[in-house]
Structure 1
Amino acid sequence: MNRITVEALGKKYKTYEKPYHRFLEAISSRKFYKEKVVLEDISFKVKEGESIGVIGHNGAGKSTLLKLLTGVTQPSSGRFEVNGKVSALLELGMGFHPDFTGYQNAVMALQMQGFNNTEIESILPEIEKFAEIGDYFSQSIRTYSSGMMVRLGFAVATSIRPEVLIVDEALSVGDAYFQHKCFDRIKEFKKQGTTIFFVSHDPGSVKNLCDRALLIENGRLIKEGNPDDILDFYNAIIAKRESDYQIKENQGTGIRSGNGKVSIDEVQLYVHDSPVNAIQVGEEVRLTVKYHAQQNDLEDLTVGFMIKDRIGNEIFGTNTFYLGRKISDAKIGVEKEVSFYFNANLGVGTYSITVAAHAGNSHINDNYDWWEHSSTFQVIAGTESKFVGVNFLSVKAEII
């Protein structure tokens, strides 16, 4: 069963250069507006119990898509269908009256969801408890901070498990503690079969929570699929926007972007001079990045790497700039290499390596070659003490 079906969905807005142009258009046959296309030809389906993450730049059309699915605005073309009880948390404070208290706004929100007075009275204590805003629950929400507003909004929207939960980026406003609390509730809903559709700029949340991701760019759905692949492609688009980069998808070798002034040829992990793709916790390793310049006299050439865990969280990254090792001998066509030495103080699991060659301390300055997921490796249990987490720390215990 499909909980959400979207077919050729589009949304256009009329924009007027001057406020009085609306009046002139109303009394004449002339057209004074220009059409602004926000969404165009969007099609996808979401199955029951599936979790979908929507990513894209600000202004790409993500929030407009959510407003269409929740009935806040109507489409200009195409159609959509949402089956089941829907709960939504969109813009901060949407649907709340600023002069009413948190309690009163919660009551009104529940009434609009079709609950009777008896049901509302039984739900309100849970809302107050989850929001954790204390005495402010009985005060006008005009006095609320943005964080308190999102606490109340999320508590109301998730007070009863919906069949479809739609969440915009509002959760990014909350503090870390409340964000963790919210995602715990969302994960619990997912286990119980709720279909989740949410917008987020947090790669870790998308990879950890979602079965599939949609990438929207300039109002169009340009890519959908596995969250890892979509987020890699999105990162390449981000790099492209910083300069005139050419993006290319390399089959089975991650996604690369850059202006081509430097080309990275090989990325390899070594233990005792032997290439490996599995290492033990705490083992000393050498990461070698081979590259060659496509032009002479590159200023401030920097080579660096980033280690990510299996869901895309950034674990550690550094580069030759941060390490104070200047590269000044890059010559066109001559292969060079940079070796990084470190102890793999990582938890057992699968990790990926992203490498980059750029100018200065960051690829934002001038990206020569960015290679997302250039390679992967396994960390297996070693002789160190047992521990949990992603980092191994040398710990001693003293009992007094």
Structure 2
Amino acid sequence: PNNSHHLICNGVDVKESSSNIKLARRGNGKAVIEEVSLLNQFEEYVESPIFGFNEEVTLTVSVKVNTSLQGCIIGFYICDKNGNEILGSNTFEESHPIGKLSAGDRLQIQFKFKLPIRTGSYSLTVAGAESYTAMTFDWIDNAMVFQVLPPDTGKRIHALVDQPMEVRVNQISQQA
């Protein structure tokens, strides 16, 4: 399917996703991100991009190399409705450096993580570059849009991210 949840990129600079959010793309084209998908906790593709609070998901990014590269870093951001980067990482920071690649090589990168973020709509940005100092070969804003549901427990999430807490309350004196 070619929708906002499972995107097949055809090298078009700007596309319209099914949620009417502009998909903006830029980069030097030395390699291209051909496919982006976000799988549920069972590693299954789901038709509607709705995930449970703190659900473990798998982001899959498929890349085709057009020109030899000295190295490769693939990364992503999950952004809120205001464009704030809430979660994100890349292959380099996660200790999975990608070495030299030749034209015609293809890669599939998977990031597995939880979504401990408050209820709402989020967009996914994916990008790739040879290194931190090199120009990006492909950067796709709004590669997909998805929803996160509230916790099943009824807990209200007030901040953007719900960091697990250990809380202790000790009564140190008691009035008669």
TM-score range, shorter chain: 0.7 to 0.9
Structure 1: where are the runs of 5+ without partners? 1-246
Give 1:399's aligned residue.
169
Identical aligned residues as a percent: 29
Q: Deviations over 1:309-359 (max 9, x none)?
A: 011111122111111211126342343210011111111100001000102
- Residue of structure 2 equivalent to 1:288: 60
- Distance in 2 (CA, whole Å) between partners of 1:326 and 1:273 is 24
Q: CA deviation at 1:250?
A: 2.5
Normalised to the residue count of structure 1, the TM-score between the two structures is 0.36
Which is bigger in relative contact order (C-alpha 8 A, separation at least 6)? 2
2:136 corresponding residue in structure 1: 367
CA-based RMSD of the aligned residues comes to: 1.9
Aligned equivalent of 1:317:
88
Q: Does 1:250 align with 2:20?
A: no
Q: Does 1:337 align with 2:102?
A: no
Question: Aligned residue for 2:157?
Answer: 387
Counterpart-to-counterpart distance in 1, 2:166 and 2:97: 38
Residues 331 and 382 (structure 1 numbering): CA distance in 2 closer, same or farther, change over 3 Å? farther
Q: What stretches of structure 2 of length at least 5 have no aligned partner?
A: 1-11, 171-176
The answer to whether the 8 A contact 1:292-1:331 is kept is: no
Greater share of helix: 1
Structure with the largest fraction of strand: 2
> What is the aligned length?
151
Secondary structure of 1:330's partner? coil
**CA-CA distance at 1:251 after TM superposition:** 3.3
Query: Whole-Å Cα distance in 2 between the matches of residues 334 and 255 of structure 1?
Result: 25
> Computing the radius of gyration over CA atoms, which structure comes out larger, 1 or 2?
1
- Counterpart secondary structure, 2:13: strand
- Give the drift of 1:282: 1.0
Matches within 5 A, 1:22-61: none
Match of 2:121 among 328, 332, 350: 350
Structure-2 residue corresponding to 1:260: 29
Give the conservation status (yes or no) of the 8 Å contact 1:293–1:335: yes
Q: Deviations over 1:192-220 (max 9, x none)?
A: xxxxxxxxxxxxxxxxxxxxxxxxxxxxx
* Letter aligned with residue 26 of structure 2: S
For 1:140-165, what per-residue CA distance to the aligned partner results, in whole angstroms no more than 9, with x for missing partners? xxxxxxxxxxxxxxxxxxxxxxxxxx
Counterparts of 1:378 and 1:330 in 2: how far apart (Å)?
Answer: 35
Report whether the alignment pairs 1:306 with 2:86.
no
